[in-house]
């Protein structure tokens, strides 16, 4: 192998290695100095959640604290569902649901009292946060039943 062809092969190898690493580097200069997004609050399991949806494919529930309020993120690809929540000790002082749906036609919670809310038919720009009013869940409530319907299901 000649000296020139060895230099060409080495240069091609270096270029190939550099291009292989390009998937890890952003070519958008705006992103060069941005910080990565902050991690969300740590997930907890304060409530035992059982989905009673007819077809719960892709449905998931995530729990996290926001001060003294427990937020349950409901991800429902089908747009319609039901769940039963039970405390793994005692109920949190405040409870809220963040619904990851397109448009919330109806949300209902039943325990010591019943609550129903509708956000209409307009598409949502971000997931709505629904705080349960005081009294819907009592200290001695064994379970909380929730159900939701997405207008665009």
Q: What is the pLDDT of residues 123-152, one digit of tens each?
A: 888 999 999 999 999 999 999 999 999 877
Q: What is the pLDDT of residues 25-44, one digit of tens each?
A: 556 666 667 777 777 788 88
Predicted confidence at residue 79, as pLDDT, reads 87
Is 1 or 18 the better-scoring residue by pLDDT? 18
Strands (E), 20-101: 43-44, 47-51, 60-66, 69-75, 80-87, 94-100
Predicted confidence at residue 122, as pLDDT, reads 82
How many other C-beta atoms are found inside a 10 Å radius of the C-beta of residue 143? 14
Mean pLDDT estimate for the chain: 86
**In CATH, what class is 43-150?**
mainly beta
Q: What's the whole-model pTM score?
A: 0.73
Give the C-alpha distances (Å, rounded to integers) separating 151 from 117, 118, 126, 146. 13, 10, 15, 17
Distance separating alpha carbons of residues 100 and 128, to the nearest angstrom: 8
Predicted confidence at residue 13, as pLDDT, reads 76
Distance separating alpha carbons of residues 35 and 55, to the nearest angstrom: 39
Is the distance from CB of 111 to CB of 95 less than 8 angstroms?
Answer: no
Confidence of residue 153 (pLDDT cuts 50, 70, 90): low
Q: Taking 80 as the threshold, does the pLDDT of residue 60 lie above it?
A: yes
Domains of the chain, residue spans: 3-32, 43-150
Predicted confidence at residue 101, as pLDDT, reads 87
Predicted confidence at residue 11, as pLDDT, reads 78
Cα radius of gyration rounded to whole Å, the chain: 25
Q: Taking 80 as the threshold, does the pLDDT of residue 53 lie above it?
A: yes
- Start-end of H helices in 3-123: 3-20, 29-32
């Amino acid at each position: 192998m000649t000296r020139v062809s060895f230099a060409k092969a080495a240069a091609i190898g270096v270029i190939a290695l550099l291009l292989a690493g390009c998937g890890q580097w952003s070519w958008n200069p705006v992103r060069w100095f941005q910080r990565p997004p902050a991690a969300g609050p740590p997930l907890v399991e304060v409530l035992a959640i059982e989905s009673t949806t007819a077809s719960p494919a892709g449905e998931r529930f995530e729990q996290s604290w926001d001060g003294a309020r427990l937020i349950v993120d409901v991800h429902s690809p089908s747009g319609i569902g039901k769940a039963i929540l039970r405390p793994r000790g005692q109920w949190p002082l405040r409870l809220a649901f963040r619904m990851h749906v397109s448009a919330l036609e109806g949300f209902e919670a039943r325990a010591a009292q019943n609550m129903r809310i509708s956000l209409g038919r307009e598409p949502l720009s971000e997931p709505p946060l629904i705080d349960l009013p005081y009294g819907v869940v009592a200290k001695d409530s064994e379970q909380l039943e929730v159900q939701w319907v997405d207008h665009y299901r």
